[in-house]
Structure 1
Amino acid sequence: MVIEKSNSAEPFVKWAGGKRQLLPEIMKYIPDKINNYYEPFIGGGAVFFNIKCNHPIINDFNRELINSYMVVKNDVENLINLLKIHENNNSKEYYYKLRSWDRTNSIENKSNTERAARFIYLNKTGFNGLFRVNSQEQFNVPYGRYKHPSIVNVENLRKASLYLNNSEATILNGDYYNAIKKAKKGDFVYLDPPYAPLTQDRESFVGYTINGFGKDQQIRLRNVFDELTNKGVYAMLSNSKVPLIENLYEKYKNTTKIVSAKRNINSNTSGRGEVQELLIKNY
């Protein structure tokens, strides 16, 4: 399969570590011919939405995020209508009212489309565009200070829905390995996991899910990367330029690229501003 590296849609949510500004570098190194495309840490999906291919497989551990992808694919017009209601009612009080759904368990009685509209609304109006949950899996990001937040982009949501349907994308929710374990020689896997922390005196940003993604998970991911390499799968991975990651992927240093990115969405100020990242390839 020849993939077309051109924009069909843009991410419909903000996401910490999103790849929009690094797209020129990332797209430059994606093979022109692949069999199947996998992205098991989809997040905002900047890379995914910037290519055109048939039958891509995407995944994330975040249930509410993946529900939103499913709703954008299957019920985009009702989603747009609900987002317009949220946009018209946006206020600090309204934000906390919707945020409280997972504290009162009323979220369990909401439809998938209602949950997706809430998720996107909170994402667009919450502080710094963060997604963070506490130990009870309750969304706990405070209201942001935006004068005119862009809550509903009708054109982009429809374009995203069209691509998800036309490409016949498979959308999964679970552990990343389950999403890529069937990858074969000639397939391409792009891995964009939660990053290793920039400093050793603080924990990595683990609010993305309650499980976190610490050193042991980074080691496991390196082992999976080696497994993909041994199977002849094209694999590319983004991560922080820190000793832990450089040491783990030492054998790939000759095909590793250093890129710079400005990070404004982060749980800690030391992760904002211009930082160096690694683009690790096995080809």
Structure 2
Amino acid sequence: MTLHKALQKVEINCGDFAEIWNSLENNPTFIYIDPPYRPISKQVTMFTLYDKSGFTDFDQLRLKEICDIFGNRGCRIMLSNSDSYDEDISYFENLYNNGYHISRIEVTRMINPYNSKNRKPKEVIITNYQPPQ
């Protein structure tokens, strides 16, 4: 029953993030974003293409710019993505290098190629606030 009460004021949206941001009438206090994941390498592209248009690095940059705008309005932002690297440089640490916090978590996949090889990929959790320990 407590979860039911907590979710009474929650609004869940699904769609292109630019359209959703434009439709927000009030500044929400917390926004969680789960965009298509950036490939962890050129060889491993699972969980990255949810439709034929894809989600490019340009889209990642647009999303970061919108996170900055809503963060400057006082919203708390949290987003998740793959722990992706270009060469030896963390893509998301480089992109979210101005006041964001990045945590890494190990995840378990139940999709056959990951499960059968006992892989535990890492993901990043990016916030514009210091998350509790």
- Structure 1 residue 203: deviation in Å? 5.1
* TM-score scaled by length of structure 1: 0.37
Could you tell me which of 3, 20, 25 is aligned with 1:179?
A: 20
Q: For 1:155-214, what per-residue CA distance to the aligned partner results, in whole angstroms no more than 9, with x for missing partners?
A: xxxxxxxxxxxxxxxxxxxx2232233251x611000111111113565632x1222112
SS in 2 for 1:235: strand
1:191: which partner in 2? Answer: 33
Could you tell me which of 42, 56, 65 is aligned with 1:223?
A: 65
Higher fraction of helix: 1
Paired residues of 1:196 and 1:245 also in contact (CA < 8 A): no
Higher fraction of strand: 2
1:249: which partner in 2? Answer: 96
Structure 1 residue runs of 5 or longer lacking an equivalent are 9-50, 62-174
Aligned counterparts, 1:7-46, within 5 A: none
1:55: which partner in 2? Answer: 9
Structure 1 residue 262 corresponds to structure 2 residue 114: no
The residue type paired with residue 233 of structure 1 is C
Q: What percent of counterpart residues are identical?
A: 30
Could you tell me which of 72, 76, 82 is aligned with 1:234?
A: 76
**Matches of 2:96 and 2:34 in 1, distance apart?**
15
CA RMSD of aligned residues (A): 2.5
Aligned counterparts, 1:272-283, within 5 A: 273-283=119-129
**Matches of 2:98 and 2:44 in 1, distance apart?**
27
SS in 2 for 1:237: strand
**Matches of 1:230 and 1:238 in 2, distance apart?**
20
1:151: which partner in 2? Answer: none
2:87: which partner in 1? Answer: none
**Matches of 1:221 and 1:247 in 2, distance apart?**
14
**Matches of 2:65 and 2:111 in 1, distance apart?**
29
How many pairs does the alignment contain? 117
* TM-score scaled by length of structure 2: 0.72
**Matches of 2:124 and 2:45 in 1, distance apart?**
20
SS in 1 for 2:79: strand
Q: For 1:119-140, what per-residue CA distance to the aligned partner results, in whole angstroms no more than 9, with x for missing partners?
A: xxxxxxxxxxxxxxxxxxxxxx
Q: Which structure has the larger Rg?
A: 1
